[in-house]
Amino acid sequence: MITSNTGASSDAHSDHQLDLPLAESSATNQRRHKIQPTSSDAYSQSRRTSKNHQGKVLEAVRASGRRGLTNAEIAVATRIEYTTVPGCTGKLISRGQLVRTSVRRPTGKGGEGFILVAAEFADEVQ
C-alpha cells in the first residue's frame, strides 16, 4: 500500500507496495567513494593517452606542411578514432600550436572540413 506523507493510504494502488532502500549513512557513503588506486591509475593512463594523441596529431599536421589536414584526414593519418580528434585539435589550437584556417576541403562523407595547419605555416595559408 502506498502511503502519503500525511499517513493516508491510497486504495487505488493497494495491490502494489514500494520497498525502497533507506539512504546510506554519510560515513558509509564516504568510505564507498574513496579514490581507489585503480581509479587513479586509470586517470593517469587516460592523461598519458591524451598527450600521446595530441603529439601524433601535431606531428601529422606538421608533416602535411602548408597543405594542412582536416579532422577526418588526421584520424586516418594517425589511426586515432575520429571522435577523439576534435578534442585533440581543440587543445592544440588553444595552446597556439595549430591554427584552423578559413579554407575548407571535402571530406570522404560528402561534407567539408576546415583545414588545420601547424602554427608555423599559418601565415602562408590564410
pLDDT digits (tens, 9 = 90+) for 93-117: 999 999 999 999 998 778 999 999 9
d(CA 9, CA 3): 4
Q: Is 93 a domain residue?
A: yes
pLDDT digits (tens, 9 = 90+) for 36-77: 667 777 667 766 677 789 999 999 999 999 999 999 999 999
**What is the residue range of 107's domain?**
35-125
Q: Is 22 a domain residue?
A: no
Bridge partners (DSSP) of residue 69 are 116
Q: Is 1 a domain residue?
A: no
Q: Is 14 a domain residue?
A: no
- Number of domains the chain contains: 1
Q: Is 12 a domain residue?
A: no
Phi-psi region of 30 (alpha: psi -120 to 50; beta: other; left: phi over 0): alpha
d(CA 46, CA 105): 31
For residue 90, what is the domain's CATH number? 1.10.10.10
Cβ–Cβ < 8 Å for 126, 101? yes
Q: Is 16 a domain residue?
A: no
Q: Is 52 a domain residue?
A: yes
* CA angle in degrees (0–180, nearest 5) for 94-99-102: 125
d(CA 125, CA 108): 22
